[in-house]
Homo-oligomer: A and B are copies of this chain.
Amino acid sequence: MKNKQFTIDEQALLEDIMLHRRDIRGNNFLGKPISDEAIKKILHAASLAPSVGFSQPWEFVIIRDDKIKKQVYENFVVENKKAQAIFSNKQQEMYKQLKLEGILEAPINIAVFYKPSDTPVLGQNTMLETGEYSVVCAVQNMWLMSRAMNIGLGWVSILNPESVKKILKSPADNKLVAYLCIGYVEEFFSIPELEKLKWKKKKQINSVVYSNEYPEAISNT
């Protein structure tokens, strides 16, 4: 076979990076600044992601301005209050204790957008979401590269995407896919925080794998 071959040790290292990747929140970010060089490296990882029809439909707004972060944070506060209400009493108590974002604490925020193409995209016909999905692949590359650089990244989803678009003066047809907080950290937890707090159990992979087709008992649920 032609081309680059990776070794068993290199596979194991990739697994190690995946295993140590964590979602980082504001109680864990350090103030230490992130260099332009580091941001460039993280964005380069994004640019290596797969994309439907090689459309590369991603756009990035890098936010360092505290006034803009503040506006986004205020939207989080509003939406987080609404979000709490959907949980039952016991879960709600735990929810209120959780720090769920690091917008103000992280030196860098990055809003990641999907920009739809004006012209037809190869492969994006029956499954239009593949455009957004390409952007998500770029985010996962950014996340893994940040971890390999010992930099923390947190994905904040408790935001009204239309409000964030307004704050960032996004073109109307762009879609906010992810809002990321990036910075050096105090600690990468050994397991996900929600697992540690027993909010949710880790699923056994065997419990979500089927052979050839869904078995009848599952199909009819």
- For A59, give the chain B residue with the smallest CB separation: B208
Would B137 and A139 count as touching, CB distance under 8 A?
A: yes
Given A6-B17, A61-B213, A187-B3, A129:B127 Cβ within 8 A? no
Would B2 and A178 count as touching, CB distance under 8 A?
A: no
Q: Give bound CA distance, A167 to B213, whole Å.
A: 8
Q: Give bound CA distance, A100 to B121, whole Å.
A: 13
**In the complex, which of the residues B122, B160, B195 contacts A95, with contact meaning CB atoms closer than 8 Å?**
B122
Q: Give bound CA distance, A33 to B98, whole Å.
A: 47
Would B157 and A68 count as touching, CB distance under 8 A?
A: no
> Smallest distance from the beta carbon of A104 to chain B beta carbons, Å?
15
> Smallest distance from the beta carbon of A33 to chain B beta carbons, Å?
15
- Residues of B contacting A59 in the complex (Cβ-Cβ under 8 angstroms): 208-210
- For A120, give the chain B residue with the smallest CB separation: B86
- For A11, give the chain B residue with the smallest CB separation: B148
Would B133 and A177 count as touching, CB distance under 8 A?
A: yes
Would A62 and B202 count as touching, CB distance under 8 A?
A: no
Given A49-B140, A140-B140, A158:B126 Cβ within 8 A? yes
Chain A positions within 8 Å of B, measured between CB atoms, are: 1-6, 10-11, 13-21, 23, 41, 43-50, 52-56, 58-65, 68, 79, 82-83, 86-87, 95, 98, 100, 115, 120, 122-127, 129-130, 132-133, 136-137, 139-141, 143-145, 147-150, 155, 157-161, 167-171, 176-178, 184-188, 190, 192, 194-195, 199-200, 202-203, 205, 208-216, 218-221
Known contacts A18-B145, A127-B159; can you find 17 more A-B pairs with CB under 8 A?
A: A1-B150, A1-B185, A3-B188, A49-B140, A54-B192, A55-B200, A59-B209, A60-B208, A61-B214, A83-B123, A83-B126, A100-B122, A122-B194, A124-B157, A137-B139, A144-B144, A171-B219
Q: List 11 A-B contacts (CB under 8 A).
A: A1-B186, A3-B190, A6-B148, A15-B45, A15-B48, A23-B50, A44-B205, A56-B203, A65-B212, A95-B122, A132-B133
* 6 cross-chain pairs, A with B, having the tightest CB-CB distances, nearest first: A54-B194, A136-B136, A140-B140, A18-B48, A169-B219, A54-B200
